[in-house]
Chain A
């Protein structure tokens, strides 16, 4: 319940603070501006055309109808190269089937996860092919995409490694965790791949995320191992510092709060899967797992797990899905908003006549 309340508050704050133009007018005007901002690059002029057209539409009902129509165009813009889209969809589907076959034959415990991940990735690749004519691969954007993909791959690799070494730890009778993990990871990938306009500001994100990655990996590989893993874990403070650096850096250079918040949120999106991967990687270094928590000591005998390691690793994976990929990013997102607000406060005060 608390999670949903926090999510609703964050979404509401984001919508209120990040809307493209606060003076765009009524709700239909805001919807049209927001929708047309998300059109693919080659349809931007059409977006401007539809936004301009709204100014000539009288009456509230007509404006709402037009706004809904524009929203539909933004969600499903016409496909320009149908053959390319079909080719990507076909290749994606074949890759998804191959991934599933591979999972069933090598790590059957994650077959449901692979079965959800493959089609989702194929669908996302098809969507990308349908929305862009020629993807722009500016250096900063390419590095952001690379870091995002690396983080997601690392998280997948960590889960696969757990499944291979302790199959019972990844048993998921309801399949809910498997599907949720696949959906969330593809979501993070989509955030990394989303087109960017201010490419220079991306270097702040790249620096912050790469710094976080280096410190976390170094810690996960070298920190002394205890009975419950490695610790105390510095990843959350390091992630917070990375998010603050990105948000403040962009805020101070652009004096644009929305851009600073976006930079902070992108840093969160790039670091969250990597954070999960390093957490699991650190835990896998433990050779002799020991129960220390009174609750675990009482619950383990009735859990059905064959060994303590599987019990603790299963707990860690589900914890990482909920906490590492949802709750922690929400908290870091709030940190990004506060940092961006603080960094741009002076310029906003100066702008007041």
Chain B
């Protein structure tokens, strides 16, 4: 029997923020400011989600140094739905995203 642990309220908040616009790539600091959570809480959550294949990451090449981007994978979206995080409908046209290096 596999024990399924319920995600913490912070993890649910991060999932909800990511599920809000599932196609949009998000920056780590933007998630911190949106949720009012410190980086010391958000980044471990992002790491765990990525470890479990629920989050995909990419590097954005914009002005200045490349920055890391995050969005839910298909499995991540299913996980978010399974844990009662409402997913916003995906718009017909994919959201504009920064130029991605090694996506």
* B40→A68 contact, CB < 8 A: yes
* B43→A46 contact, CB < 8 A: yes
Across the two chains, which residue of chain B brings its CB closest to A74? B40
Partner of A53, one of B29, B41, B44: B29
A55 to B68, CA, bound (A): 12
B95 part of interface (Cβ distance < 8 Å): no
* B29→A57 contact, CB < 8 A: yes
User: CB-CB < 8 A to A77: which residues of B?
Assistant: 44, 47
CB-CB contacts below 8 Å: B40-86 with A: 40-44, 46-48, 51, 57, 64-68
Closest CB-CB distance, B36 to chain A, in whole Å?
Answer: 11
* B27→A73 contact, CB < 8 A: no
B100 part of interface (Cβ distance < 8 Å): no
**Interface size for chain A: under 10, 10 to 19, 20 to 34, or 35 or more residues?**
20 to 34
Across the two chains, which residue of chain B brings its CB closest to A51? B65
User: CB-CB < 8 A to A68: which residues of B?
Assistant: 38, 40
User: CB-CB < 8 A to A52: which residues of B?
Assistant: 65-68
User: CB-CB < 8 A to B40: which residues of A?
Assistant: 68-73
User: CB-CB < 8 A to B48: which residues of A?
Assistant: 78
B35 part of interface (Cβ distance < 8 Å): no
Partner of B27, one of A46, A53, A76, A80: A53
**Interface size for chain B: under 10, 10 to 19, 20 to 34, or 35 or more residues?**
20 to 34
A48 to B65, CA, bound (A): 10
User: CB-CB < 8 A to A76: which residues of B?
Assistant: 44
Closest CB-CB distance, A61 to chain B, in whole Å?
Answer: 12
B32 part of interface (Cβ distance < 8 Å): yes
Partner of B39, one of A70, A78, A80: A70
A43 part of interface (Cβ distance < 8 Å): yes
A31 to B67, CA, bound (A): 18
User: CB-CB < 8 A to A48: which residues of B?
Assistant: 68
A50 part of interface (Cβ distance < 8 Å): yes
Q: Residue among B41, B43, B46 with the most chain A CB within 10 A? A: B43
User: CB-CB < 8 A to A49: which residues of B?
Assistant: 28, 57, 67-68
User: CB-CB < 8 A to B65: which residues of A?
Assistant: 52, 55
A76 to B64, CA, bound (A): 29
**A positions within 8 Å CB-CB of B:** 43, 46, 48-50, 52-53, 55-57, 65-66, 68-73, 76-78, 80
Closest 6 CB pairs of A and B: A69-B39, A49-B68, A72-B40, A69-B40, A69-B38, A78-B44
Beyond A49-B28, A49-B68, A68-B40, list 19 extra A-B contacts (CB 8 Å). A43-B47, A46-B43, A46-B47, A49-B67, A52-B65, A53-B28, A53-B29, A53-B39, A56-B64, A69-B39, A69-B40, A69-B42, A70-B40, A72-B38, A73-B40, A78-B44, A78-B48, A78-B51, A80-B51
